[in-house]
A and B are shown apart, each in its own frame.
Chain A
Amino acid sequence: MQDVKTFRPKIVAFCCNWCSYAGADLAGTNRLNYPADVKIIRVPCSCRVNPMFILRAFQRGADGVILCGCHPGDCHYSTGNYYARRRMTLLFSMLDYLGIEKERTRVEWVSAAEGAKFAATMNEFVETVRQLGPNKRLEDLRCKK
Chain B
Amino acid sequence: MQEVMLEKAKELLQSGAVDRVLGWKAGEFAYDITPCVFASAQELEAGFVYNDFCGNNLSKYLIKESRKGGKVLAFLKPCDTYSFNQLIKEHRIVRENVLVVGVPCQGMTDGETLKAKGVKGILGIKTEGEDFVINTLYGDRTMAKKDALPERCLSCKSKKHVVYDELLGQEGDKLDSGRFDLVNKLEAMDPEERFAFWRGELSRCIRCNACRNVCPACSCEKCVFDNDASGVAQKAAADSFEENMFHIIRAFHVAGRCTDCGECSRVCPQNIPLHLLNRKFIKDINTLYGDYQAGEDTVSRAPLTNFTEGDAEPSIVTKGGKKA
Contact = CB atoms under 8 A, between A and B. Distances in A.
Interface of A: 51-52, 55, 58-59, 72-73, 79, 82-83, 85-103, 105-107, 137-142
B144 interface: no
Contact of A100 (B195, B289, B313): B195
Contact of B317 (A89, A99, A137, A140): A89
Interface in B241-293: 241-242, 244-245, 248-249, 251-252, 255, 277, 280-281, 284-285, 288-289
B307 interface: yes
Interface in B188-203: 191-199
A108 B306 CA distance: 20
B307 A85 contact: yes
With most chain A CB atoms within 10 A of its CB, the pick from B245, B285, B314, B316 is B314
Nearest to B224: A52
A73 B307 CA distance: 12
A138 B246 CA distance: 12
Q: Which 8 pairs, one residue from A and one from B, show the smallest C-beta to C-beta distance?
A: A99-B195, A82-B307, A99-B194, A140-B241, A107-B314, A92-B317, A89-B314, A88-B314
B186 interface: yes
Contacts of B245: 52, 55, 59
Nearest to B288: A89
B307 A51 contact: no
With most chain A CB atoms within 10 A of its CB, the pick from B199, B241, B305 is B241
A107 B315 CA distance: 7
A137 B309 contact: no
Contact of A86 (B303, B309, B319): B303
Nearest to A96: B317
A107 B195 contact: no
Interface residues of B, number: 47
Contacts of B173: none
A95 B314 contact: no
9 contacts: A52-B224, A58-B241, A79-B307, A90-B284, A93-B280, A94-B277, A97-B198, A99-B194, A107-B318
Contact of A97 (B186, B241, B319): B186
Contact of A95 (B237, B241, B248, B324): B248
Contact of A99 (B197, B242, B318): B197
A90 B252 CA distance: 8
Contact of B251 (A52, A55, A58, A94): A94
With most chain A CB atoms within 10 A of its CB, the pick from B193, B308, B317 is B317
A106 B314 contact: yes
B304 A83 contact: yes
Contacts of B255: 90
Contacts of B195: 98-100, 137
A85 B309 CA distance: 10
Nearest to A88: B314
